[in-house]
């Protein structure tokens, strides 16, 4: 009886399992089919292009199709120069399975994009069935499309020019490479990343490539965040080749070396740039001299976060900055200046702290000492001037011991040797001169003895040697010899009173003696 009951239960369990499997098997198979064959994306982007028309704008174009539904909208997402993304949505009216869309980005006025600016973008397309497709990211770089640019590069340096032959670009690149070496020596290091120099042919082309708010007196400009600079070089004899090009290159190199720092005041940044120019126009020094006479120098606080908008004051600011940085190089030397620039690359530390760490004084005391060196009134009170600051040494004292001038010790040794040789030569000359005078005196005595009683002795003409005002001691054993006066007083038949082999006089010229 028990066996029959167990068999019945087993039979019921087996039947229940079969029914359960029959009911749920279709769902399991459907799920597996979904995992193995996911839904395909019906949207395809067939084309996406961008066209730059500088400086007006950039045109973006998209072509896409949908195999299962109609496209209703497309959104372009842009990131300009690494800033926050911005997006713009286009609605498709009427919805369609194949679309071509266009969007224009203006780059004038407040939306101006500098040459060298990088723009990344991608498209997002949506259809009526809520299918979403994201396209691949694209990248473009803003350029001045008004000209056909030629390019040459060397290492991290590239020059770009137009409307001039290939040898023009080669000469500019060679000059820029030399200037790069000099600037790197002064700053303590060179380029860390690639830079681009855009060479314009005339001032009108150059100014029309700049942002609307740029001052009209600007002749060259650097954009350190983009590692780009633009300037005008009308010909290879232009002063801008040795003035503006090293100036703008200094800005780019300096900002690469201090990219991690908080800030550098404008006067220091511009002062370094002018200091590294190969050519300095005389008018800049004249501008500084006039300000010194009038005691009208600008304060450094007025040149910390920019230069004056007024052209004349801006020119004075350049002159002052140059003079102050030159003063710092003269008093500190290149090694300490390089250490200061290296310190500026430290985050969370300001320029004043770096000054104190590098040279022992802050900006206020540096400005005061520089002004005093120029004969200008002090900018500090007595208490401020004595407040925990180390005075800078005078430029002359430091220049003699500056490690950047290794030829000075050698020059000093050479001067000492030349001085010693000069002293020895002078002593020898004096000894010979005294010996000559002794011989002359002996000759006079001989002549006076041989003259007949009815003749008058031959008078001794006065000494006419190299130093007419120096008195000669007749009693001295060493007197001058080999002088015209000594030769003219001896008769033709005179014989020396000393053996052959000692010093003798030359035969006197045939002249009469009075």
What is the residue-wise DSSP string for 82-129? T---EEEEEEEEEEESEEEEEEEEE-SGGG---TT-EEEEEEEEEETT
Does residue 195 lie within any of the structural domains?
yes
Query: Which pLDDT value is given to residue 428?
Result: 72
Compute the distance between CA of residue 103 and CA of residue 489 in angstroms, rounded to an integer: 112
Asked whether residue 38 is domain-assigned, the answer is: no
Q: Mean pLDDT in runs of 10 for the chain (514 residues)? A: 47 50 46 50 96 97 96 97 94 96 95 94 97 96 97 97 98 98 97 97 95 85 96 95 97 97 94 97 96 96 91 94 97 94 90 89 94 93 62 44 42 68 71 64 50 42 36 35 34 39 35 34
Task: Find out whether 298 and 317 touch, Cβ atoms under 8 Å.
Answer: yes
Q: What is the C-alpha R_g of the chain?
A: 45
Q: Is the residue at 19 inside a domain?
A: no
Do 278 and 167 belong together in one domain? yes
Are residues 368 and 420 located together in one domain of the fold?
A: no
CATH code of 98's domain: 2.60.40.10
Instruction: With respect to residue 10, please indicate whether it lies within any of the assigned structural domains.
Output: no
Q: Are residues 371 and 423 in the same domain?
A: no
Number of domains making up the chain: 3
Query: 258 and 124 in one domain?
Result: no
Please report whether residue 22 resides in a domain: no
Residues 267 and 136 in one domain: no
Tell me how many helices (H) and strands (E) the chain has: 14, 13
Task: Assess if residue 294 is contained within a domain.
Answer: yes
In this structure, the answer to whether residues 269 and 354 fall within a common structural domain is yes
Q: Do 268 and 137 share a structural domain? A: no
Indicate whether 121 belongs to any domain: yes
Are both 375 and 430 inside the same structural domain?
no
Q: Is residue 433 part of a domain?
A: yes
Note whether 208 and 330 are same-domain residues.
Answer: yes
Name the burial class of residue 330, with classes exposed (0-12), middle (13-18) and buried (19+) by CB atoms within 10 angstroms of its CB.
middle
Specify the pTM.
Answer: 0.68
259 is in which domain, residue-wise?
150-401
59 — phi, psi (to 5°)? -105, 125
Looking at residue 263, its pLDDT comes to 85
Same domain, 382 and 356: yes
One domain for residues 186 and 80:
no
Say which CATH number the domain at 305 has: 1.10.390.10
Specify whether 282 is located in the same domain as 189: yes
Q: Judging by beta carbons within 10 Å of its beta carbon (0-12, 13-18, 19+), is residue 159 exposed, middle or buried? A: buried
């Amino acid at each position: 009886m028990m066996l029959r009951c167990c068999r019945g239960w087993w039979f019921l369990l087996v039947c229940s399992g079969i029914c359960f499997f029959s009911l749920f098997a279709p769902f399991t198979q459907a799920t597996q089919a979904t995992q193995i064959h996911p839904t395909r994306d019906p949207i395809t982007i067939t084309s996406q292009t961008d066209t730059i028309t500088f400086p007006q704008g950039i045109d973006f174009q998209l072509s896409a199709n949908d195999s299962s539904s109609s496209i209703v909208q497309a959104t372009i997402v842009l990131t300009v120069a690494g800033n926050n993304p911005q997006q713009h949505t286009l609605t498709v009216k009427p919805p369609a399975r194949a679309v071509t869309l266009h969007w224009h980005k203006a780059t004038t006025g407040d939306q101006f994009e500098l040459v060298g600016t990088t723009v990344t973008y991608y498209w997002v397309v949506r259809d009526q069935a809520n299918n979403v497709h994201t396209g691949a990211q694209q990248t473009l770089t803003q350029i001045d499309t008004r000209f056909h640019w030629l390019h040459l590069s060397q290492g991290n340096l590239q020059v770009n020019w137009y409307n001039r032959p290939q040898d023009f670009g080669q000469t500019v690149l060679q000059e820029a490479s030399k200037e790069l070496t000099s600037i790197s020596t002064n700053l303590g290091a060179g380029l860390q990343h690639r830079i681009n120099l855009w060479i314009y042919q005339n001032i009108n082309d150059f100014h029309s490539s700049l942002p609307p708010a740029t001052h009209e007196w600007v002749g060259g400009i650097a954009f350190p965040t983009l590692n780009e600079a633009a300037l005008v070089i009308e010909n290879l004899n232009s002063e801008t080749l040795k003035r503006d090009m090293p100036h703008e290159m200094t800005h780019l190199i300096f900002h690469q070396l201090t990219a991690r720092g908080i800030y550098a005041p404008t006067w220091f940044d511009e002062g370094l740039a002018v200091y590294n120019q190969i050519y300095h126009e005389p008018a800049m020094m004249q501008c500084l001299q006039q300000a010194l006479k009038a005691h009208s120098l600008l304060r450094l606080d007025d040149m910390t976060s920019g230069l004056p908008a007024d052209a004349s004051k801006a020119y004075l600011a350049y002159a002052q900055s140059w003079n102050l940085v030159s003063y710092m190089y003269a008093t500190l030397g290149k090694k300490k200046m390089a250490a200061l620039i290296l310190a500026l690359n430290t985050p969370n530390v300001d320029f004043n702290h770096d000054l104190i760490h590098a040279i022992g004084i802050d900006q206020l005391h540096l400005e005061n000492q520089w002004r005093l060196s120029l004969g200008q009134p002090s900018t500090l009170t007595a208490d401020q001037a004595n407040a925990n600051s180390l005075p800078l040494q005078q430029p002359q004292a430091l220049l003699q011991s500056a490690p950047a001038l290794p030829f000075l010790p050698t020059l000093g040794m050479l001067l000492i040797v030349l001085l010693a040789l000069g002293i020895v030569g002078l002593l020898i000359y004096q000894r010979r001169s005294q010996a000559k005078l002794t011989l002359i005196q002996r000759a006079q005595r001989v002549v006076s003895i041989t003259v007949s009683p009815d003749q008058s002795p031959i008078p001794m003409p006065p000494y006419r040697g190299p130093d007419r005002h120096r008195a000669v001691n007749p009693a001295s054993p060493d007197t001058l010899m080999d002088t015209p006066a000594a030769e003219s007083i001896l008769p033709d038949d005179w014989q020396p009173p000393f053996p052959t082999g000692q010093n003798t006089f030359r035969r006197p010229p045939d002249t009469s003696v009075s």
